[in-house]
Structures are given as C-alpha cells and as structure tokens.
Amino acid sequence: MNKSKLVELIRSRKSFLCVGLDTDPSKLPAGISAIEFNKAIIDATREFAVAYKPNLAFYEAMGRQGWDILEETVAYIGNEHFTIADAKRGDIGNTSSYYAKAFFETYGFDSITVAPYMGKDSVLPFLQFQDKWAIVLALTSNEGSKDFQTQKIGEEYLFEKVLRDVASWGTDENTMFVVGATKAESLAQIRQIIPNHFLLVPGVGAQGGSLQEVVKYGMNSEVGLLVNASRSILYASSGGDYASAAAAEAKKMQEEMAVYL
C-alpha cells in the first residue's frame, strides 16, 4: 500500500486507528484459540480501523504454531487494511535483506518496525521494496527511552539525529517513524524535522496517551498519523462478549478521530 492509498483509506474510513494484535494466550477467554480470537477481533474492528499490527513476540513465543497463526492472521486481514509487522528488526545488511524478504514477501506485510541502532546499512535493505515501508523507532513511550533517545549528541537529542539521518536515507513514501503518545509534547518539535512523514503512535489507551494531544501536535496536511491501540481494544472484556467490547472501544476511538479529521 503506497502513501496515496493509505491517505485515501484514512479519509474514506474517517479513521487513523491501528489495532495492535498483541495476542497473549494467557489473556484469552476460556475455550478461545489465538487464531479464533484474532479473527473475531478483526471482524469486530474492520470498519473502524485502517491498520493492524501483530506484535511478533507473542507469535514467536508459540513456536511453529505461532508462525502459522501469524500467516493465517495476515491473510485474514486481507488487502483493505495496512499491515505492520511489529518485529523491530535491524542487523547487518545481508541479514536485514532477509528480514525484509521474510516479512514483505513471505508473509506479505506492508511494513515492518525497524531498530536503527546499527546504522544506515541495517536500514537501507528495508527501503528497497516498492510500496513497502520501514517504520523506524525514534522516540518511544517506554520508561527506558531516556537512557539513550533523549541524551544530547552535541546540540541535538539522539532521537532528533535519528529522525534527520534516517529521513535522508529514504523518503516520506517508504519511511515512517515510531513516536510514543506519552511523548506528545515533543511532536511539534518532531514535525519541524519531518513535516511530511507518517508517524506510528503507540501509547493511546492503556498507556494513558492523549489522542487529542497527538492530533494537536502531530497531524499534518495528509493526516500523517497511525495511532495504535492494543490492550484497550483486545482486552476490553475478558468474557464471551470480548469481540463486541473490542468493537465498542474501536468505534469510540474512530468517532473521536472522525471529529479531528
């Protein structure tokens, strides 16, 4: 899915909601398998979401079965939603090339999250595929982000250098950045550096980030936002009504997004 199609999808759905499929077997309703849960969540949220983001750790932990579930989940999502492999890959060039082939070709994802710590040659392989995206970690919402990301490198913060350098390696047609919703106060500053790139914004919902603040400081003329919610939607109910509860939570977020759009 290229940028123009993604923007068109957002405007037609009146939504920039990404549903994170962090499917934890220990939290599933009794008698429901992981693939049944995923399909029910997808069916319940299709009309409200524009993207889905399976977190690879939850599937890798299940072994061979988990990879089968991942493949079936991506196929079930289909082509009408943007798909993100939340894998946080990034290694020497040859290895990154095979990570890119695995997730873009074998599993058919539109995008993959990438850790940029190893530098340019670890990121460039993800930028060689037409209509595919690298979503690069920039300023994350976890407590440990201050250990490196907000340390000064000369006159700028490390996350600012990541934004400037990585943006120069690709374009706003194949590169996005992860910026946590709990860092919303930094979005205006970030938009000075990358005014036209899409941002994947986790942390709204269970982590307490404000959608209003994210929109205020982060939205651009092409929207430029994919706001992710995982636990607040997936586990809105632990009972038999989990799918309808997920739909209600997704609808609430979509309706707020429609107002901002």
Known catalytic residues? 88
Closest Cα partner for 180 from 195, 169, 167, 190?
190
Q: What residue type is assigned to position 115 of the chain?
A: A
**Interatomic CA distance for residues 186 and 190, integer angstroms:** 6
C-alpha distance from residue 99 to each of 36, 38, 88 (Å): 27, 24, 10
**Interatomic CA distance for residues 257 and 42, integer angstroms:** 19
3-state DSSP assignment of residue 86 = strand
For residue 118, how many other CB atoms are within 10 A of its CB? 15
Closest Cα partner for 109 from 132, 128, 137, 87?
132
